Amino acid sequence: MRTLQEMTLQEKLGQRLAAGFQGLEPPKEFLRLIKEYKVGNIILFRRNIQDGPQLKKLCATLRKVVEEETGVTPFITIDQEGGVVTRLPESEVNIPGAMAVAATDNPRNAYDMGLLTAQELRSYGVDFDLAPVMDINCNPDNPVIGVRSYGDTPERVAEYGSQMVRGLLDGGVYCSLKHFPGHGDTAVDSHLGLPCIDRSFDELMQRELKPFIAGIEAGAPAVMTTHILFPQIEPEHIPATMSRRIMTGLLREKLGFGGIIISDCMEMDAIKKFYGTVNGVLAAMKAGVDLVFVSQTPALAAEAMQNARRAAENGELDLAELDVSVQRLLEAKAQCAAMQPKTLGDEAACRARAEEVRAASITAVHLPRGGMPALGDNPLFLGCADYRSTIASNAESSGFTFPEEMRRHADKGTALVTDKDPGDAEIAEVVSQAAAHSCIVLGTYNGHILQGQLRLAKALAATGLPMILVALRNPYDLRNMPNHVAALAGWEYTRPLFDALWPVLNGTARPTGKLPLLTLTKAAK
């Protein structure tokens, strides 16, 4: 691998960028980005992956091209958190998400899910997982974190997140704590706007920073930034990613972090809309971010590289700091390549372990006095299809629906797919149809944000029919339901979850999960 002393200025700058592309194969424009600007790192999304064999071939191709053009092996990164942020296709082994794992009330499960994820990724050639999430989801109205967090207390997030870190590292994959210094207590999605968390340093130390400190102590080699304003820490109107006070002053100097700092995507609207991606990339580099992500658009990545080159040549970007950052990245890549991975077992064992944890995560937030309602002879299964509730999720729909999958399992009753935000007319029609059924089973998907789903739930509950409500993402949908409604947290909208849920619905299994949220202690009044 090429040393720092052997690298040109462009090669050094290229090490500090990670870029992505559209499609299953790298287009000419992306290959030109690597060749001309020596971009040395890759990010992959679901849009780039068809199945395991294709992913393995793609990673091998990308690694060969980057090594030939830069003399340095790339980091090939991916957001494989589990649950709602899962980039591997359904054919591969995907783990439950963070809050689901925490609901099992067993930190060992977080370690095993990290080890399993690393084993999967490494087998395909991906060596850097952009996980775990160390945000504390203390704001129920948070539209982007939610079940991606291990819970709403610093202690729980620190404990489970640190175990995930250890599992990923033992499995031979680099990992990154995110989103520093915390994205949990906001009601704005930084993909779409510019959130603000108005806390002092002491307040952050008492809450938001505790999981990150624990993760660093657990050996996390990287920390990802967040595009959020922290006005009491950074008085200039710039987000954490662009703030030298936060990246260098807080993370490097006060917390003593010696690993690599990476950015969240600089094409998110919190940067692109308010500061411009190209300017934001340079500002992040100057702030102390080692590896900056332009994840969607090769042309924009090229423009950012041109701007960084000009800044380095005119003295705006400090060359000594550039060398320190590049050397840090080179050492990280060498360390990653030298890891000696453990395994959890063969593919069948890994799949069984993931399903064991998923089944253990299903949580009864509230059960009626008589227990789980019986489905009866003619149950009504209903709910919306999944949808892209945040840009952090995959762009495409799953192609299957909760009501249809449950109807298939039951082999009786009716499946009714509703709108994701039903209006009064649809609600009235659904309530009318429900009257002929023996039990109502409603799946919601972020109904606390799209309130039509909750209006439908309460209208159906008012019929007095036996009813089961399943939250298929954030469990805040389960608040304030009548006592006769059984309220279950399922945590994700996937076929494996539906398979695990069915024995609970038909009464052959008990939900054993424990709610990892102090802000949601029960669903009934």
- Positions annotated as catalytic residues are 191, 264
Distance of alpha carbon 80 from alpha carbon 242, whole angstroms: 25
Distance of alpha carbon 100 from alpha carbon 97, whole angstroms: 5
Stated as kind and residue range, the H or E segment containing 441 is: strand 439-444
What would the DSSP string read from start to end of 59-92? HHHHHHHHHHHHSSPPEEEE---BTTB--S-TTS
Residues with Cβ within 8 Å of 306's Cβ and at least 6 positions away in sequence, in order, are 37
Distance of alpha carbon 196 from alpha carbon 239, whole angstroms: 8
Q: Evaluate whether 446 touches 148 at the Cβ level (below 8 Å).
A: no
Distance of alpha carbon 185 from alpha carbon 187, whole angstroms: 7
Nearest in space to 271 (alpha carbons), one of 298, 295, 305, 302: 295
Question: Token digits for 246?
Answer: 């936060």
Question: Token digits for 89?
Answer: 């296709």
Distance of alpha carbon 380 from alpha carbon 382, whole angstroms: 6
Distance of alpha carbon 196 from alpha carbon 248, whole angstroms: 20
Distance of alpha carbon 263 from alpha carbon 227, whole angstroms: 9
Strands 291-294 and 260-265, sheet pairing? parallel
φ, ψ of residue 486 in degrees (nearest 5): -80, 125
Nearest in space to 416 (alpha carbons), one of 437, 395, 388, 387: 437
Q: Evaluate whether 300 touches 278 at the Cβ level (below 8 Å).
A: yes
Q: Evaluate whether 147 touches 474 at the Cβ level (below 8 Å).
A: yes
β-strand partners of 260: 222
